[in-house]
Amino acid sequence: MNYTISSRIAHCLRYQMMGIVLLLFCPWSWTELRAQVTRHTLSGYVRDAAGKEALAGASLWVSEIRSGTSSNAYGFYSITLPSGSYNFQVSYVGYQTQTVQINLDRNQSLDFALAAANDLREIEIIDDRVRRQAQEIQMSKVELTPQQIQQIPMLFGEKDLLKTFQLMPGVQKGNEGSAGLYVRGGGPDQNLILLDEATVYNASHLFGFFSVFNGNAIKNASLTKGGFPARYGGRLSSVLDIRMKDGNMDHWCTEGSIGNISANLTAEGPILKNKASMIVSARRTYFDLLTAPLLLSASDGGGIGGYYFQDLNAKINYQLDDKNRLYLSGYLGQDKFYANTIAGGQGERSNASLGWGNKTGTLRWNHQISPMAFLNTSLILSDYTFAIRLSSDFDNETFDLRYNSTIKDIGIKADLDWLPTPQHKIKAGLQSLRHTFIPTAFVLKNSIAPEFNLDRVAREYSLESGFFVEDEWSVNERWLLQPGLRFSTFQAGTQTYARPEPRIAARYLLRSNQSIKAAYSEMNQYLHLLSNSGTGLPTDLWVPANQEIGPQFSRQAALGYTLDLPRHPWTLSVETYFKRSNGNIAYRPGASFLLIDPEVLVDEQNVLKVRWQDQVVTGSMESYGMELLIQKHSGRWNGWLGYTLSKTDMRFPELNGGLPFPARYDRRHDLSWVNFFEIRPHTIAKKGIKGSAVFVYGTGNAVTLPQGSFNAPIVGIPGYESINPWFGPGWNSTDYGTQNNYRLRSYQRVDLSIQVTRKTRCGERVTEYSVYNLLSRANPWFIQVEQGALSGRSRLVQYSLFAYMIPSVSWRFKFCKC
């Protein structure tokens, strides 16, 4: 079919959603007019053969044109080629590659169902798939699969998504045991964590020891550290995009596990076969349940208490027709400390609880507009709440105190994928999120003195919006460019911020398996996290940028080299980066987040009340480094070695005399060596045995160590009548020297695990024996200056949290209807 100029313009104007994009990019496709070639589109979905799960980022390679495409987040792919016969190779990590010969003489729809490669040796290594990493334009990105997460030994045997990402270069660990992510010099507040597109504000259980993500419910997760595509915004340092499983469309499966501290159970299956499916996954710690009878017995039935955390993930997906699909997913998570007492025979009782948790919900509509265009529209809800409750009922006198701190989001998002030619993959979209901040909600009801009852809620609202457009443009065989522009706005009260965020990435192929990549991105962050712990304490407070404390802004440039060894499953990647940000906040000297109250400065009695803006100072951060990643993708022994050499300095005019100082999480060296061994493959007849070994090393965190004490002379008031006319009594002060002047000892740890797998006809059972901190290294958690009991002299004491090896045993099962 021949295209004329007028028909092309009519095509441009037909779709409102593509209006801006098409006006911008229509001229690029004018070059095709000169060729006057008949083109057809092959489109469809790439899915898992067993459960029909969509596979995001699957590669479709066309050997005849030495180019290809990849599936989007929902498994949709589209490629437009001149008429002819082509050899399509479809591949995805952990799956067997499919090769299909197709005669493309008309627009066709073809879905690919890839079979999982249970044995990594089964993965056929072909030139094209191994070269994939060098050929991709996206740099600074790490992807993990549930299988990889399940194999890595973890604390108490609890598989953790965030802690697995900490084993990647460029991602620093926080404190001992912490699940916080410190990416390229950024703090944990600068990571955008998305679960099915909804923001998760506090991704930690138990003060950061575990993350909120239940691995059994996760389909895939990717962490982007730099070279951010224009579709992402709102945070400076990273984007952690986590997708839940859609649910097995073909048959029901149940899997579960029980370990040292928690148990989880997942069920997924078709509601209507090949039409609708669901998945429900739940996890809970059980320590409090085990100790409850003991506590009741010890208190003669009068009291009970404990701690638990729990997660519930659920999702339903429904295929309306070939071009439309609906998803509804949600997450509920909670941590809770509780103590309840019952006294006397009249039911007198007291209850106390401290809890926090996330709730997210996403309703999505996928619509295939045409063979070349795909639209996703989402309605997103998110809620994070920290709550304290104290109540009692004695002698008919009641007391009920509730304190909440909350951030809620409701928003809408629309993303369009348009693939008009193999040379252009265009994405465009809009997003708008309404944030509701409730830093304090205080309710007090009591029958003793009802005149003191209170019901006070402080609310702030803001609207964060953005639109973006980007194009992955294959200029020629060697050059791939990805220009993009995001425009973000933020409105809070009378203050409005509107900022462009240009993005550009480039890839130059030196050879088919070697490339140089570069990227530049500007990011804005309109929310601040007030925390002086950095480890995800539940009292961390999210607040919006305002007239006094503006948004954070960063610029990052990265340059990298990727080599895929031909005919061998090895990839070498070296990246350097430089990042500078400003608008970072830190607590003012002497400030404490505990005193934050977003009320007016003084109340009616002239009592000082503190606003959060008065407790913080703003400054800048500069970080640069080099990351090395060597991966072996398959074979009986595989894994990766990651090394980071980096430096991160902060500069705040009101801290450290305005001089730069190292960030607390500035680690000069960070090394992770992860190994997986297949000792014996599993079959129906024989148990399979796999092992894994992890070694990590990191330079110690920087802390401020007191240097000494001194009597700080206080200049007295002129005319003060004493022996010292100018000086009152001195103030006993501490000399801290410079900020973050001391390095904790280096962090080193070795973990081992053995997994014994027994395959059954319809499933498998896995018993895992693991040891955390095999060498019983006393890694520093924090240090403290203490007085020696005998000498009375000061001494420096290091506290370690997990100073001994911690063994654990867990048992997993999976059973599918067969």
Partner 1 sequence: MLNLRLPILQLIFLLLTVSCRPQILDTLDLELPSKLVVGCNLVVESNSLLQQDSLYLQLAQSAPLFGSSEPEDSVLTDAVVQLFRQRPGQGPQAGDTLNNFSITALGSPIEGNNLYYAAPTQIAGQSFVQQGYNYSLTVSSKDGRTVNASAAIPVSEIADTNIQILVTSPDEWSRNIQVKVRWRSMNEDPSGSEPSHFRINYRVTGIFQNSDYWNNADLTGYPNQLVSMNASNNGVYEWQDRFNFYLPFDTTGLANAQLEVAIQRINQPLYQYLQAIGQQGLSEDNPFGEPVVIPTNIQGGLGCLGTMITYRMRRSIPW
Q: Which residues pair with 749 in a beta bridge?
A: 696
Task: Specify the residue, 493 or 730, whose C-beta has the smaller distance to partner 1.
Answer: 730
Distance CA 156, CA 179 (A): 14
SS3 sequence, 28-68?
HHHHHHHHCCCEEEEEEEEEECCCCCECCCCEEEECCCCEE
Closest contact distance (angstroms) between CB of 607 and partner 1 is 9
Contacts of 345 (CB under 8 A, 6+ apart): none
Task: Specify the residue, 234 or 598, whose C-beta has the smaller distance to partner 1.
Answer: 598
Kindly state the tokens that stand for 261. Answer: 């501290």
Closest contact distance (angstroms) between CB of 459 and partner 1 is 16
Closest contact distance (angstroms) between CB of 511 and partner 1 is 51
Task: Specify the residue, 561 or 736, whose C-beta has the smaller distance to partner 1.
Answer: 736
CA 615 to chain centroid, in Å, comes to 28
Closest contact distance (angstroms) between CB of 705 and partner 1 is 8
Distance CA 347, CA 570 (A): 68
Task: Specify the residue, 326 or 803, whose C-beta has the smaller distance to partner 1.
Answer: 803
How far, CA to CA in Å, does 74 sit from each of 225, 367, 386, 417? 22, 11, 34, 11
Task: Specify the residue, 496 or 734, whose C-beta has the smaller distance to partner 1.
Answer: 734
Closest contact distance (angstroms) between CB of 354 and partner 1 is 6
What's the length of the chain?
Answer: 818
- Residue 713, classed as helix, strand or coil, is coil
Q: Which residues pair with 165 in a beta bridge?
A: none
Task: Specify the residue, 100 or 796, whose C-beta has the smaller distance to partner 1.
Answer: 796
Task: Specify the residue, 291 or 631, whose C-beta has the smaller distance to partner 1.
Answer: 291
Do residues 226 and 186 touch, judged by C-beta distance below 8 A? no
Task: Specify the residue, 256 or 780, whose C-beta has the smaller distance to partner 1.
Answer: 780
Closest contact distance (angstroms) between CB of 652 and partner 1 is 11
Closest contact distance (angstroms) between CB of 353 and partner 1 is 11
Task: Specify the residue, 493 or 728, whose C-beta has the smaller distance to partner 1.
Answer: 728
Task: Specify the residue, 13 or 594, whose C-beta has the smaller distance to partner 1.
Answer: 594
Task: Specify the residue, 83 or 709, whose C-beta has the smaller distance to partner 1.
Answer: 709
How far, CA to CA in Å, does 804 sit from each of 11, 695, 749, 750? 67, 16, 11, 12
Closest contact distance (angstroms) between CB of 172 and partner 1 is 22
Kindly state the tokens that stand for 109. Answer: 């729809």
CA angle 485, 489, 491 (to 5 degrees): 175
Distance CA 716, CA 729 (A): 9
Closest contact distance (angstroms) between CB of 726 and partner 1 is 4
Closest contact distance (angstroms) between CB of 425 and partner 1 is 48
505: left (phi over 0), alpha (psi -120 to 50) or beta: beta
| Alpha-helical runs (H) found in 317-379 | none
Task: Specify the residue, 145 or 440, whose C-beta has the smaller distance to partner 1.
Answer: 440
Contacts of 696 (CB under 8 A, 6+ apart): 167, 173, 671, 672, 673, 747, 748, 749
| Exposure of 713 in the CB half-sphere (CA atoms within 13 A) | 7
Ranges assigned E (strand) in 447-569 = 454-474, 479-492, 495-511, 514-525, 527-530, 541-544, 552-564
Buried b (16+ CB within 10 A) or exposed e, 42-51: bbbbbbbebb
Closest contact distance (angstroms) between CB of 650 and partner 1 is 14
Closest contact distance (angstroms) between CB of 574 and partner 1 is 36
194: left (phi over 0), alpha (psi -120 to 50) or beta: beta
